[in-house]
Structure 1
Amino acid sequence: MTTSRDNMWSTSYDILIVGAGIAGSALAHALSAAAAQRSRPLRICLLERSLAEPDRIVGELLQPGGIMALKNLGLESCVEGIDAIPTYGYCILLDGKPVHIPYPEGYEGRAFHHGRFIQALRAKAKEAASVEVVEATVSELIECPLSGRVLGVRATRKEENAVEKEAFFGDLTIIADGCFSNFRSQVMGKAALPLDVKGHFVGLVLEDAELPIPKHGTVALMEDGLALLYQIGTHDTRILVDVKNPVPSDLKNYILTKVVPTLPASLHLPAQKAIEKERLRRMPNSFLPPSEQGKVTKEGVILLGDSWNMRHPLTGGGMMVAFNDVALLRDMLLDVKDLADWKEISHLLHKWHWARKPLASTVNILSAPFLLFRHFFTVAFYAIWVLFTHPRRVGEVNGKPVLARPRPDEYPFLAFKSLQVFWTACVVFMPLLFSEIRY
């Protein structure tokens, strides 16, 4: 007789989702809820290495656009009951004075402990009909020996003395295993782009800290970076320090001498206490453009979330982009007649790639691409105009500066300087724009 346990060694589903984080949990719930009206609901398996509450220093601020996406997915309750703090905009510290940048009236974001939010999302996925949540470590993709198509995954359940790998098969496999994805390069193949690590965010939690403008993200500018603060609980405020490469060997001393003095006086003592009692934690600031999937990527599998596309954490828009991606993908997958038909899925991925561009590109570069293009080069041409027309210091008389406009014989040199200004603008801006438009 074959027992139910024996049957689990090879199980088949409509969709396998690897990773029960932000994107994976949301997609499992969203697909199940939307497919409930179908004659045959989707069978979904959500695989996660550990279902214990995660402890991370990023993924703690959800912008208003992310709240709207949560409502679209039927997950708005996930920010309730977790001591989440409403956020109404930003405060930029300029010369020690707060500059208020509010969200549009009527909109708010939420800040919270990352782990509590993840557990709320997972709870919704577990409650969803036709979703099976399995705590198991996925170690490899199962590929067809003839076509190379991904048929499923092999995973080891998190059980005492569990060593045997189980095969989980699915018509479609979705990889959402985060920024440290184990399968990114394998799935993307020739379309894979290099992961660019710009530096690190170093994080601490301040206790009972008082921000310059309550319930607003606070940005403190430093000589060679910045610090971002936002309240994530009734008594907890996160501080993230942007540390460029190479990372200083003594980070505690760096924060005490370079960062704390730039903060308002009300934050000095909480910051010092946190540095003394807490272990400094780091996360890489990674940038990964979203190259299109489907054409040359491995068949039968899709990347989702940070496993596919990342932007600098300073944008605070990673979760917003992920939830928007999930909402778009959910709607498109529900229209697919056969999830095993890669030609149909490939066409869907092309539509999905360009449907997500307006939001994802704007968040990735903190502006609409062509609006940024106009402003960026307006500044560059203004700088060139200043070179030719504005008086500059040419000397000093009796302790007072002497100013003079450029002479005609200086124009050739200024023309060369103008080319340098324009070239610098191109070098800084064009690769960023190119990565968003091309991929």
Structure 2
Amino acid sequence: MLDRYDVLIVGAGVAGSALAHALATSPRNPPLRIALLERSLDEPDRIVGELMQPGGVNALKKLGLESVLENIDAARVKGYCVADAGKIVEIPYPGGHEGRSFHHGRLIMNLRAAARRAPGVDLIEGTVTDLIEDSSSARKVIGVRASLKGAEEKKAFHASLVFVADGCYSNFRTSVMGAGAKSTTKSHFIGAILEDAVLPIPDHGTVALIKGSGPVLMYRISQHDTRILIDVKQPIPSDLKAHILANIAPQLPASVQLPLKNALDKDRLRRMPNSYLPATPQGRAYSKPGVILIGDSWNMRHPLTGGGMTVALSDIAVLQPLLAAVPDLNDWSAVQHALNRWCRERKALASTVNILSVALYDLFGADAPELEVLRTGCFKYFELGGECVNGPVSILSALAPSPALLTYHFFSVAFYSIWVMFTHPQPVPGRPEDKPRYAAASLHQYPFLLWKSVRVFYTACVVFGPLLWLELFAHEGPGRTTVVLGLLAALAVGTILF
């Protein structure tokens, strides 16, 4: 086994394995020699990375990896349904497109097998402990040091280019990108598997909106298994099972309540942080030369929309031809040029998926009166059907990667939410034991509703504006930054005057 390669990849998950296959099958003469290092080659057991949007399936096809979805008992996903207080609205994928959901570990094993079969790839089991830098070449990373399985001493591997794909808990993120590359965590998903559960609409993922808590996501991952992910905010209750039984289960569709209770009796609950990490452009002065982050080690979004694998695979599909055009991977200036193009070309899809995931979570996990109005308006917006469903689900599925289209629908929801607040019956306050009553707003309530409308629209701007800034403009040049700041200031002034 050689210790000198053209490319080293740290982490053989979705991103690392797909990248190894993509680079190995790129048209180069001679072919690249690639080392793919993974701490454990056993089948992983995780509660996320189990739902792939149609955009991710399309990316797999571009990479020649569509076969990894075969023979893993993967379920077809034809869309979503949103459940709120007994009401259900169907949100099918457009044009007959389908996603897939599966046991995460089975997909990873197929991806690793595909990478191992690719020409020039060595799949190596070992824990990478540190990056090797060339002290005479401006901190350039020239390799890694790893503890191999069964070996007493660490082994050094050298390469022209090093990729770090070690996931959301990356050990090397800050050393590559600096202390500013830190993720934020709003909540955790608590996961379990429901046996033989019946979802409200077959072959559709289900998002259940829970009053007083974050949303619950359910989707089938095999013939008999359905994944349930329950969003729990900080501080996490000390007795999770009791909390779920008392506060979550009664608000779920009736068909999944018994399977959930059975799962709580026999299965251990798993926990996963829901983190957000905007992508910082790579190959610039603040990042180390010779090394590139990819996948969740570099860019994360809320997993509510199931967009993580789609972004990672699409990133690789964009990066593959750009690196194939670099004759010598030792030429960091040429690699930098490719990275600059990559960061521009990936932005439409990645930013759309990322912004939607966090904004939708803020609406569905509403914990403020203004967000409650937006959540109600969002559900009723979906009930309108037509383009009010087709547009948002095209964005969610990564079939229409357009920040402009996302902005249009988000603020359409905001204005429609205000319309709903004025025109639709609203809950009438009363005693908890009384039957809920609803009534349309009366004329004397209009001044208060007008003031509340300002607050609702302002809240929509506060939710959406910073995300748009972080994803599209935060790392642009000073000229564009000034223009964007001016637009945001005008938006704020317009909101106040409104």
Is 1:149 aligned to 2:140, yes or no?
A: yes
Maintained 8 Å contact 1:195/1:287? yes
Q: 1:69 aligns with which of 48, 51, 59?
A: 59
CA distance in 1, matches of 2:115, 2:72: 17
1:35-434 → structure 2 map (5 Å cutoff): 35=27, 38-146=28-136, 147-159=138-150, 162-189=151-178, 192-223=180-211, 224-296=213-285, 297-366=287-356, 368-377=402-411, 403-404=442-443, 420-434=455-469
CA shift at 1:217, angstroms?
Answer: 0.4
Which of the pair is proportionally richer in helix?
Answer: 2
Q: 2:12 aligns with which of 11, 14, 20?
A: 20
CA shift at 1:419, angstroms?
Answer: 5.7
Residue 25 of structure 2 aligns to a residue whose secondary structure is: helix
CA shift at 1:424, angstroms?
Answer: 3.0
Provide, for residues 292-342 of structure 1, a one-character-per-residue CA deviation record: whole Å limited to 9, x for no partner.
011121000000000000000001111011111111111111110110111
Residue 34 of structure 1 aligns to a residue whose secondary structure is: coil
CA distance in 2, matches of 1:417, 1:225: 23
Which of the pair is proportionally richer in strand?
Answer: 1
Maintained 8 Å contact 1:388/1:406? no
Cα distance change of structure 1 residues 253 and 47 upon mapping to structure 2, 3 Å threshold: same
Percent identity of paired positions between Structure 1 and Structure 2: 59
Which structure 2 residue ranges, 5 or more long, are not aligned?
357-394, 396-401, 427-438, 476-498
Provide, for residues 71-103 of structure 1, a one-character-per-residue CA deviation record: whole Å limited to 9, x for no partner.
111111111001111111111113323321111
CA shift at 1:417, angstroms?
Answer: 6.3
CA distance in 2, matches of 1:59, 1:380: 31
Maintained 8 Å contact 1:389/1:406? no
Equivalent residue pairs, number: 416
CA distance in 1, matches of 2:99, 2:10: 28
Cα distance change of structure 1 residues 87 and 373 upon mapping to structure 2, 3 Å threshold: closer
CA distance in 2, matches of 1:383, 1:269: 34
CA distance in 1, matches of 2:68, 2:191: 24
Match of 1:34 in 2: 26
Q: What's the TM-score once normalised by structure 2's chain length?
A: 0.78
CA distance in 2, matches of 1:101, 1:117: 26
Provide, for residues 5-42 of structure 1, a one-character-per-residue CA deviation record: whole Å limited to 9, x for no partner.
xxx5xx1111101100001000111111223xx33110
For 1:49, the aligned partner's letter is: R
CA shift at 1:374, angstroms?
Answer: 3.7
Residue 436 of structure 1 aligns to a residue whose secondary structure is: helix
Maintained 8 Å contact 1:173/1:302? yes
Residue 215 of structure 2 aligns to a residue whose secondary structure is: strand
Larger Rg: 1
CA shift at 1:189, angstroms?
Answer: 2.0
Cα distance change of structure 1 residues 234 and 384 upon mapping to structure 2, 3 Å threshold: closer
For 1:252, the aligned partner's letter is: K
Q: What's the TM-score once normalised by structure 1's chain length?
A: 0.88
